[in-house]
């Protein structure tokens, strides 16, 4: 969770006592600003638009009041709350929050997404679930197969709605909405509010209240940002030098394409760096294994495409490095929002070739400030060493993994 809302405790929100026990077991006393502002409206039954940066505690802002609401009624076989998310990781994240926050209540949840076996999902649906967290495509598979009945649906959540539109899920979302009962509470959470999202809110929300934390398209407080000008052919060498820094314990590196993610990961591993890879062509098993290794500290670096920008929840990331400058300021904000979580500080570095200067200028214009340019001392910017043979001794990895 992010920086707390000053003075307010979770008790002051009027949540069920069994939920409070779970919250306190996790060590949380004060809600974050998005939680403090959104939860009372959701508990009052209002439709809501929540707009806040990545890493501000949005997931708990809707999971907690949903759990509270469902505890007031009777559990049954049919789905009572539906959370739709753009990626497998986000669908899993909502369910992880639900499990950790509901340890003293008996509500059943399930995450369903593509790339994982159908039989366990089918079996769980047959037994009945209260809360379903799903990606659009797999959700429609189950709906069209007659495995899900929304007759008892009380709450709908669209999580990271702008990313769903970016990924082309709008037709699937519209198909799902047509199958849901019109009488329900609807919540929409999004880091940005492009015109398409505003049109969607008019279609699905009734007299919604809007909660916005911070400025749109601005990174969370606590992130130190810097630009490293470097020719493209030297980016891997410069990244390798940066990764030698003492504080480079848990580094998330973003590339623009899946192919460049695989190529960079291979180059770093050849240099002795412990690396995990995360992108859309990896199987679900490979993605979960990569996240686990990174979260447990077995990998110093995770190389990822933007599928990870909003889809992972790892609080100890020390650095985010943009190996490629993202094409939009919003993507930049979401990428660097993976560090400085839980009210911590973090560093976000961007490696910029001359051809990417216009992209950085667009980012700076959106942020309203110029980002500092940094030159790494003792790094030779005049020539490339493309072969870059491994330079680690045979006696260990010189701190390149977190053990």
pLDDT in tens, 143-163: 999 999 999 999 999 998 888
Query: How does pLDDT run across 285-332, given as a tens digit for each residue?
Result: 888 888 889 988 899 999 998 765 555 667 678 899 999 999 888 788
Contact 254, 321 (CB under 8 A): yes
Q: Which residues contact 252 (CB under 8 A, 6 or more apart)?
A: 301, 302, 304, 308, 317, 319, 320, 321, 338, 339
Task: Tell me: pLDDT of 393 over 60.
Answer: no
For position 391, what pLDDT does the model report? 44
Sheet with 48-52, edge to edge strand ranges: 109-112, 131-134, 81-84, 155-159, 185-190, 48-52, 209-213
- Residue 381 φ/ψ, nearest 5 degrees: -85, 0
State which CATH number among 3.30.360.10, 3.40.50.300, 3.30.70.1560, 3.40.50.720 fits the domain covering 223-367.
3.40.50.300
**Least confident span in 17-31, 94-108, 203-217, 230-244:** 203-217
- What is the pLDDT, as a whole number, of residue 394? 33
- In the chain, where the domains are located: 10-213, 223-367
Helix axes 329-336, 357-367, angle to 10 degrees: 80
Distances in Å between the Cα of 241 and the Cα atoms of 271, 273, 391 are 11, 11, 11
Listed in sequence order, the DSSP H helices in 111-223 are: 118-127, 136-144, 161-166, 170-178, 195-204
Q: Which CATH superfamily is domain 10-213 in?
A: P-loop containing nucleotide triphosphate hydrolases (3.40.50.300)
> Do the Cβ atoms of 205 and 188 come closer than 8 Å?
yes
């Amino acid at each position: 969770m992010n920086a707390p809302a000053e003075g307010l405790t979770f008790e002051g929100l009027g949540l069920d006592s069994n939920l409070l026990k779970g919250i306190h077991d996790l060590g949380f006393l004060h809600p974050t600003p998005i939680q403090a502002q959104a939860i009372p409206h959701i508990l009052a039954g209002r439709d809501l638009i929540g707009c806040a940066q990545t890493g501000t505690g949005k997931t708990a802002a809707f999971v907690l009041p949903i759990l509270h609401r469902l505890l007031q009624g009777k559990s049954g076989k049919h789905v009572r709350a539906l959370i739709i998310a753009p990626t497998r990781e986000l669908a899993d994240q909502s369910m992880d929050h639900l499990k950790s926050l509901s340890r003293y209540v008996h509500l059943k949840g399930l995450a369903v997404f593509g790339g994982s076996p159908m039989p366990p999902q089918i079996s769980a649906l047959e037994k009945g679930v209260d809360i379903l967290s799903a990606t659009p495509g797999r959700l429609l598979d189950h709906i069209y197969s007659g495995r899900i009945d929304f007759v008892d649906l009380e709450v709908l959540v669209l999580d990271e709605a702008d990313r769903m539109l970016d990924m082309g899920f709008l037709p699937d979302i519209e198909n799902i909405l047509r199958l849901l009962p019109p009488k329900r509470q609807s919540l929409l959470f999004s880091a940005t509010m492009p015109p398409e999202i505003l049109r969607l809110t008019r279609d699905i929300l009734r007299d919604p209240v809007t909660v916005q934390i911070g400025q749109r398209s601005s990174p969370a407080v606590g992130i130190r940002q810097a630009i490293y000008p470097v020719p493209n052919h030297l980016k891997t060498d410069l990244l390798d030098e940066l990764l030698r820094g003492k504080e480079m314990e848990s580094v998330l590196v973003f590339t623009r394409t899946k192919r460049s993610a695989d190529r960079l990961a291979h180059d770093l591993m050849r240099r002795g760096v412990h690396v995990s890879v995360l992108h859309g062509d990896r199987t679900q098993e490979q993605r979960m294994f990569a996240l686990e290794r990174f979260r447990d500290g077995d990998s110093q670096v995770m190389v990822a495409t933007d599928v990870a920008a909003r889809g992972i929840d790892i609080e100890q990331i020390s650095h985010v490095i943009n190996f490629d400058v993202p094409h939009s300021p919003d993507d930049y904000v979401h990428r660097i929002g993976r560090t400085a979580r839980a009210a911590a500080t973090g560093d976000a570095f961007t490696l910029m070739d001359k051809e990417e200067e216009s992209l950085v200028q667009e980012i700076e214009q959106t942020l309203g400030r110029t980002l500092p340019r940094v030159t790494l001392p003792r790094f030779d910017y005049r020539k490339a060493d493309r072969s870059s043979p491994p330079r680690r001794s045979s006696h260990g990895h010189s701190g390149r993994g977190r053990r």
